[in-house]
Amino acid sequence: DITDRAGEAMRDGRDREALAGYKDAVTEAEKVKAEDDLLARSYENLGRFYKRRRDFENACLYFTRALERRRETLTETAEPVARSLEDIIYCLFDQRRYEALGPRIDELLALREKQFGAQSPELIRPLELETRLYRDLRDYDRCQQYLERLQSITAKAYGSRSVEAAECLRDLARNRRDQRRYADAAELYEKALAVQEKAMPAESGGKNHPDIARTLDEIADCYRHEERYDRALDALSRSLSIKEKLYGEEHLEVARTLGDLADCRANSHQEKEARADYEKQLTILRKVLGENHMDCAHALDRLANLERQCDDLPAAIEAATSSLNVREKLLGKKSLETARHIRWVAGMYSQKGELEKAESMLCDEQDRLARGSREYLNVLRDRRHLLQRLKKDKEAEALDKKIKSMEKSP
């Protein structure tokens, strides 16, 4: 069979042979005017071939031909018609062709309603596709309409205290969070958490399931946006406990949660506890990722900010300099991110009163950066301010003229 041989070739990575085989299958199917339906299946196979190669335009073309053929030869509610619609929809998502997606998903939803009725669990998938579309488009009101319908059908199909119902609540909460309605989102996440804690089977971890930890993280995120740090700390502490049981104490998920805990504690004026959490996080990151990883640099930044908040400038400079060293190794000394970080560290030296050191750092960075860039201009402005404070008036005036000339240039 031509199609079987082509499928075997595709699985083995023999793409040319597979493409030729699928095209031969289409030619043969057209000759014999096969019903569903050899011709539609041949178009479908070509579509899948192109999709595997990430040629979504051609994939969509052949999936559409398969759909048209099936609509000619089959009833409007035949399952292969629904399958072709799904193939087209996924290809359109891959191309982010949102203007074409809406009508196709509506077609699929209408077909499923004709097949199974308006309250069937078979509508769950097309409704999920509707919510995905309108979430991507940031049309949160339309997304909400489909989410509410999805929740109703899911509750009837699986029960209102099921894992599936909890997932619907989480999606509703996410939609509110995306609208920055954090209080509403937190309330929905709390409801989802209550369902999850009762619904998660013991063999899957029960209350120590990773999905419960994720919900706790989302609850904490909502409370942090509302500056309700006590509630956020409670949720993050529970999440940390679950993750340590699931993954052990030296895992990246544990490190991430420690960083979030430290941020909350820093904002709650619990500096001592925040410092301990940042240091634990940094220890894990260095052990798992190595010292010269950008995640380590970000953790050092947060520690430096805490030390600066505590007016411990020597400790802040030490952490920030360690972070700068990582960036210079990973990004080079001429990168914009490195330049911004040098200005940050120089600002700390200036705050500490070490003006010569700060000015020297900026002078070196000025020589490295491309002239005319925005960051180059920022370095000049910072350096001018330091020269004025150092009473180096001639140098400051010369730099001031240079800055004004650059500011006038288009």
Show Cβ contacts of residue 15 under 8 Å, excluding neighbours closer than 6 positions.
Answer: 9, 49, 53
Q: How many Å apart are CA 47 and CA 61, to the nearest integer?
A: 7
Predicted TM-score (pTM) of this structure: 0.83
* DSSP label at residue 249: S
Q: How many Å apart are CA 48 and CA 51, to the nearest integer?
A: 5
Query: What DSSP string runs through 356-397?
Result: HHHHHHHHHHHHHSPTTSHHHHHHHHHHHHHHHHTT-HHHHH
Q: How many Å apart are CA 301 and CA 295, to the nearest integer?
A: 10
Same-domain status, 96 and 190 = no
pLDDT of residue 2: 65
* Cα dihedral 20, 23, 25, 30 sign: negative
Residue 143 lies in a domain: yes
* Cα dihedral 99, 104, 106, 107 sign: positive
List the helix and strand counts (H, then E) for the chain: 20, 0
Residue 88 lies in a domain: yes
pLDDT of residue 29: 66
pLDDT of residue 30: 64
pLDDT of residue 32: 54
Residue 1 lies in a domain: yes
Same-domain status, 100 and 121 = no
Residue 193 lies in a domain: yes
At 137, the amino acid letter reads L
pLDDT of residue 206: 83
pLDDT of residue 34: 47
Q: How many Å apart are CA 67 and CA 44, to the nearest integer?
A: 9
CB contact at 8 A, 234 and 241: no
Domain count, the chain: 2
CB contact at 8 A, 246 and 205: yes
pLDDT of residue 357: 96
Same-domain status, 131 and 240 = yes
Q: How many Å apart are CA 274 and CA 280, to the nearest integer?
A: 10
Q: How many Å apart are CA 356 and CA 34, to the nearest integer?
A: 84
| Coil, helix or strand at residue 202 | helix
Show Cβ contacts of residue 100 under 8 Å, excluding neighbours closer than 6 positions.
Answer: 92
Residue 377 lies in a domain: no
362-382 in b/e form (b: 16+ CB < 10 A) is: beebbeebeeeeebbbbbbeb
Given 189, 214, 246, the domain boundary residue is 246
Given 58, 79, 104, the domain boundary residue is 104
pLDDT of residue 205: 76
Residue 346 lies in a domain: no
CB contact at 8 A, 326 and 293: yes
CB contact at 8 A, 3 and 22: yes
CB contact at 8 A, 322 and 300: yes
Q: Two tokens at 186?
A: 């937190």
Given 54, 73, 104, the domain boundary residue is 104
Residue 210 lies in a domain: yes
Owning domain of residue 45: 1-104
Q: How many Å apart are CA 382 and CA 365, to the nearest integer?
A: 11
Residue 27 lies in a domain: yes
| Coil, helix or strand at residue 162 | coil
Preceding amide of 393 cis, omega within 30: no
Single out the residue of 401, 373, 374, 375 nearest to residue 387, CA to CA.
401
Same-domain status, 73 and 174 = no
Q: Two tokens at 175?
A: 């939609």
Q: How many Å apart are CA 373 and CA 55, to the nearest integer?
A: 39
Same-domain status, 98 and 123 = no
| Residue-by-residue pLDDT tens, the chain, 410 positions | 667 777 777 887 888 888 888 787 777 666 555 444 788 998 999 999 999 999 999 999 999 999 999 999 899 999 999 999 999 999 999 999 999 999 999 999 999 999 999 999 999 999 999 999 999 999 999 999 999 999 999 999 999 999 999 999 999 999 999 999 999 999 999 999 999 999 988 777 788 999 999 999 999 999 999 999 999 999 999 999 999 999 999 999 999 999 999 999 999 999 999 999 999 999 999 999 999 999 999 999 999 999 999 999 999 999 999 999 999 999 998 898 999 999 999 999 999 999 999 999 999 999 888 887 889 999 999 999 999 999 999 999 999 999 999 988 76
Same-domain status, 190 and 233 = yes
pLDDT of residue 1: 65
Show Cβ contacts of residue 325 under 8 Å, excluding neighbours closer than 6 positions.
Answer: none
Same-domain status, 136 and 229 = yes
Same-domain status, 139 and 76 = no
